[in-house]
Amino acid sequence: MNLPNGLQRIHPSQLSVGIYVVLTEHWMRHPFLFSSFVIANEKDLRTIQELGVDSVLYRPDKSKAAPLPASLAAAAVAVPEASVESAEHQALRQAQEAAKRVRIERVQALRKAVADAEKHYEKVSDAAKSSLTRLHAAPAESTTELLALTEELVKDFGADGSTLHLLGVSKRDAAAHNHAMGVMVLAGMIARGIGMAEADAAAVALGGLLHDIGRVKVGESIWKRKEGEMTAPEASKFKMHPAWGEEMLRGVPLPRQVHEAILMHHERMDGSGYLSGLRGDALPLAARVVGLADRYEALINPFSLAAGLQPYQALAKLYSEEQGKFDPSCLKALIAALGVYPPGTFVELTNGQWGIVTSFDRGLPTRPTVALYDPDVPRAEALLVNLGEAEEVSIARAVLPTAMPQAAFDYLSPRRRMAYFPSSRPT
Ligand SMILES: [Fe+2]
């Protein structure tokens, strides 16, 4: 059988220090952090040879040493060592077992942190949805509840030691609700990032949740159409949604930031936005924050999810093509909140493995947690590695889905909707 990447199959006895080995054993059955790596020392060599496997794969192009000839290796193995396992040997075996257990527990903890964040997200999402259903009938009560919700939420944003997770959001909610949720979270993070006090950030986050409420007056059929596909009257109607939204809440006692965010979230710093073409300082901070959060969320989760940009592509677009439209300090806060490799980014590691960033700890922007592609491991059991704890491997580059093998993309793809949610607990 032909093996990919020039891989060759050899007997474990042929291995030596310097060989780039690829273990095909499930990650739970060996004590190494990664399944492919250069054998660094005699200890690792012995560990592999004692896994009890019939063969291993190695990559000649990445190896610093050649395998031993099969005949010689067999002879070396044939020479019996001490008949009783030495104390040193026994200690090594026990240490390996312990390392394996720690590693499995660690992966389970990382998986639990994501599951907890997912549960928390769903809880907040359900609470927001239930309050929103009463927005028209009882706007004051509804918004009071929602403000209490965002006040609670922003406490977790931007705290040192907080972790941002990528969630796969289920399709049970309408895309519009998930978009509003996404904008709320991002707006809250940006607001905290630029130094807003919690109460102000909560108001801005609420503005993020409510920014598009005017859509009900636009109507679904126009709303779902792409900009270029609207007739001129339809486009004019569409562009009224910020004003209609703000009108719906006029007279409701809310922090001014909520009104500003709804009314002006399509205004841009260079005056190119709508409805009034406001420019620069005339644009309130709440509207700048929510406008940016709305734009970023729409780029990574458009109506047609397949057309969504990778997080770093979206950031690059905001910085290049759309430069001048957004407040640089808000952009900086967005990047700080998402990390150098935002959750959802596909990456190639320095050991050649493919992965997707799943979480990022605020203190370690370049060393996030990554789920790794391994065809021999079921997707639900994919190995999660916190690169903050794996000094030997790092991210070589962020990659586009088209630049990676289809099988790796299908395995890792989060192409349900991408959502971010932070947790303040250390994971
Ligand atoms: Fe909008």
pLDDT digit string, tens, across residues 190-246: 999 999 999 999 999 999 999 999 998 988 888 887 767 888 889 899 999 999 999
User: Please, are residues 382 and 372 in contact by the beta-carbon 8 Å criterion?
Assistant: yes
Using pLDDT thresholds of 50, 70 and 90, give the confidence band for residue 374.
confident
Count of C-beta atoms within a 10 Å radius of residue 400: 12
Q: For residue 294, what pLDDT is reported? A: 96
Expressed in angstroms and rounded, the spacing between residue 293 Cα and the centre of ligand 1 is 11
The DSSP code sequence of 46-109 is HHHHTT--S-EEE-GGG-SSPPPPHHHHHHHHHS---SSPPHHHHHHHHHHHHHHHHHHHHHHH
DSSP 410-424: HHH---SEEEEEEE-
Angle at 64 (CA atoms; ends 58, 69), nearest 5 degrees: 60
- Quote the ligand 1 centre to 358 CA distance (angstroms): 28
Q: Is 383 exposed, middle or buried (0-12, 13-18, 19+ CB in 10 A)?
A: buried
Residue 425's pLDDT band, with cuts at 50, 70 and 90, is very low
Cα(241) to centroid(ligand 1), Å: 7
Residue that wins the pLDDT comparison between 243 and 113: 243
Q: How far is the CA of 209 from the centre of ligand 1 (A)?
A: 11
Query: What's the pLDDT score for residue 346?
Result: 92
Most confident of 24-28, 90-94, 288-292: 288-292
| Buried b or exposed e, range 76-107, using 16+ CB within 10 angstroms | eeeeeeeeeeeeeeeebeeebeeebeebeebb
More confident residue, 193 or 6: 193
What's the 240 CA to ligand 1 centre distance in angstroms? 9
The whole-angstrom separation of Cα 408 and Cα 365 is: 24
Q: In one letter, which amino acid is 206?
A: L
Beta pairing class for 8-10 and 395-398: unpaired
Supply the mean pLDDT for the chain: 86
Please give the average per-residue pLDDT across 39-67, as a whole number. 87
Give the sheet arrangement for strand 56-58, strand by strand. 8-10, 56-58, 20-22, 36-38
**How many A from CA of 182 to the centre of ligand 1?**
13
Task: Report the separation in Å between the CA atom of 334 and the middle of ligand 1, taken as the mean of its atom positions.
Answer: 19
**How far is residue 375's CA from residue 36's CA, in Å, rounded to a whole number?**
13
Bond prior to 135 in cis (omega within 30° of 0): no
The CA-based angle 318-231-229, given to 5 degrees, is 50
Domains in the chain and their CATH numbers?
A: 4-80 (no CATH), 113-213+249-427 (1.10.3210)
Structure-block tokens of residue 147? 């403000």
Range ranked top by mean pLDDT from 109-118, 217-226, 283-292, 397-406 = 283-292
Spatial distance between the Cα atoms of 45 and 19, rounded to a whole number of angstroms: 9
Contact between 183 and 294 (Cβ < 8 Å):
yes
Highest mean pLDDT among 35-44, 73-82, 161-170: 35-44
Cα–Cα distance for residue pair 32/99, rounded to 1 Å: 8
Once rounded to an integer, what is the mean pLDDT over residues 19-34?
81
Cα 346 to averaged position of ligand 1 atoms, centre (Å) = 29
Give the whole-number percent of the chain exceeding pLDDT 90.
39
- Per residue in 54-102, pLDDT (tens digit) is 888 898 988 999 898 877 666 555 544 545 567 777 787 787 778 778 8
* The pLDDT value given to residue 361: 83
Quote the ligand 1 centre to 167 CA distance (angstroms).
23
**Of 111-115, 204-208, 215-219, 266-270, the least confident:** 111-115
DSSP state string for 213-268: TTHHHH-HHHHTS-GGGS-HHHHHHHTTHHHHHHHHTTTS---HHHHHHHHHTT--
Provide, rounded to the nearest whole percent, the portion of the chain with pLDDT above 70.
90
Could you tell me how far CA 372 lies from the centroid of its own chain? 13
The pTM of the full predicted model, rounded to 2 decimals, is 0.83
> Which residues have CB under 8 Å from 156's CB, separation 6+?
162, 422, 423, 424
Other Cβ atoms less than 10 A from the Cβ of 259: the count is 21
Cα of 343 from ligand 1 centre, angstroms? 24
- Mean pLDDT over 138-160 rounds to 88
Q: Tell me what pLDDT residue 424 has.
A: 65
Model pLDDT, residue 53: 84
Closest CA to 147 of 89, 100, 188, 103: 188
Ligand 1: centre distance to CA 323 (Å): 19
**Residue 223's closest CA among 307, 303, 143?**
303
Answer whether residue 426 shows pLDDT above 50. Answer: no
Give the 3-state secondary structure percentages of the chain, helix then strand then coil, rounded to 5.
50, 10, 40
Cα(265)–Cα(253) distance, integer angstroms: 20
